[in-house]
């Protein structure tokens, strides 16, 4: 779904302007920037602060507070792997161990093979767990084989970006 593009100030300004009149505009703006660029570039902070008439430190504070906001360009691709209760009950922890053993992934341990697997706490698809999110798409009813395939796909996409 989301293909990230390199930093582009005009594009950033357009994304910010489109949302600056929204109620509580800061979060939608930050999400839009991250969606487009894969992270929130520090050069966007001053533009956001100016558009919303808030301080830069307020913008930085919000970026730091929410773990989902990245401050650096992604080094590869990210899979969000759900380890919340319902997915745990459907075997998420065994799957996590399998992924680490079979693919060399290290969950919440940065990038391996160009892929970062990060823990998520509920992806809103509990009945069809275990679940993972990749490229904006939920992958449900995961089993060892489908999770390995998803990981391999993410690694291929990461490689294609280099
Ligand atoms: S607990 Fe995993 S999607 Fe809700």
User: Of 45, 65, 85, which one is at a domain's C-terminal end?
Assistant: 65
In which domain, by residue range, is 26 found?
Answer: 9-65
Cα(91)–Cα(148) distance, rounded to whole angstroms? 15
DSSP 117-149: EEEES--S-GGG-S-EEETTEEE-S--HHHHHH
pLDDT tens digit sequence for 55-107? 999 999 999 999 889 888 878 889 999 999 999 999 999 999 999 999 999 99
Residue identified by tokens 């505009």 is 25
Task: Name the residue of 129, 138, 139 whose CB sits within 8 Å of the most ligand 1 atoms, as the mutation to test its pocket.
Answer: 129
CA of 94 to the centre of ligand 1 (A): 15
Higher pLDDT, 162 or 40: 40
Residues 93 and 52 in one domain: no
The pLDDT, as a whole number, for residue 91 is 97
Q: Looking at residue 9, what is its pLDDT?
A: 96
Rounded to the nearest angstrom, the distance between the alpha carbon of 19 and the centre of ligand 1 is: 30
Whether residues 114 and 45 share a domain: the answer is no
Is 71 within the bounds of a domain? Answer: no
* CATH code (residue 144): 3.40.30.10
Specify whether 97 is located in the same domain as 36: no
Q: What band does 3 get if pLDDT is binned at 50, 70 and 90?
A: low
Q: Mind listing the pLDDT tens digit for each residue in 20-67?
A: 999 999 999 999 999 899 899 999 999 999 999 999 999 999 999 998
1: nearest Cα among 126, 137, 146:
137
Question: What pLDDT score was predicted for residue 6?
Answer: 80
Task: Say if 19 falls within a structural domain.
Answer: yes
Identify whether residues 107 and 58 lie together within a single domain: no
Closest CA to 75 of 39, 104, 32, 35: 39
Contact 122, 82 (CB under 8 A): yes
Condensed to tens digits (0 to 9), the pLDDT of residues 120-140 reads 999 999 999 999 999 889 999
pLDDT, one tens digit per residue, over 141-159 is 999 999 999 999 999 988 7
Residue 155 maps to a domain: yes
Residue 81 and residue 96: Cα distance in Å, rounded?
A: 8
CA 15/CA 19 separation, integer angstroms? 7
Q: Residue 79: beta bridge partners?
A: 117, 134
Are 99 and 125 part of one and the same domain?
yes
User: Hunting for tokens 């990038």 — which residue is that?
Assistant: 111
What are the pocket residues of ligand 1 if the criterion is a CB atom closer than 6 Å to any ligand atom? Answer: 82, 84-87, 122-126, 129, 131
Q: Same domain for 107 and 153?
A: yes
| 35 & 86 share domain | no
Give me the pLDDT at residue 160, please.
62
């Amino acid at each position: 779904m989301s293909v990230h593009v390199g930093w582009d100030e005009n594009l950033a300004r357009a994304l910010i302007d489109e949302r600056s009149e929204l109620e509580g505009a800061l979060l939608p703006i930050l999400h839009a920037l991250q969606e487009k660029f894969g992270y929130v570039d520090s050069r966007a902070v001053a533009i956001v602060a100016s558009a919303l008439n808030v301080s830069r430190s307020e913008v930085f504070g919000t970026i730091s507070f929410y773990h989902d906001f990245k401050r650096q360009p992604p080094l590869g691709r990210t899979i969000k792997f759900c380890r919340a209760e319902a997915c745990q009950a459907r075997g998420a922890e065994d799957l996590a161990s399998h992924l680490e053993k079979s693919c060399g992934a290290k969950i919440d341990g940065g990038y391996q093979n160009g892929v970062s697997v990060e823990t998520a706490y509920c992806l809103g698809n509990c009945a069809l767990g275990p679940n993972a999110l990749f490229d904006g798409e939920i992958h449900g009813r995961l089993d060892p084989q489908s999770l390995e395939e998803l990981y391999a796909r993410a690694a291929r996409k990461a490689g294609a970006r280099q």
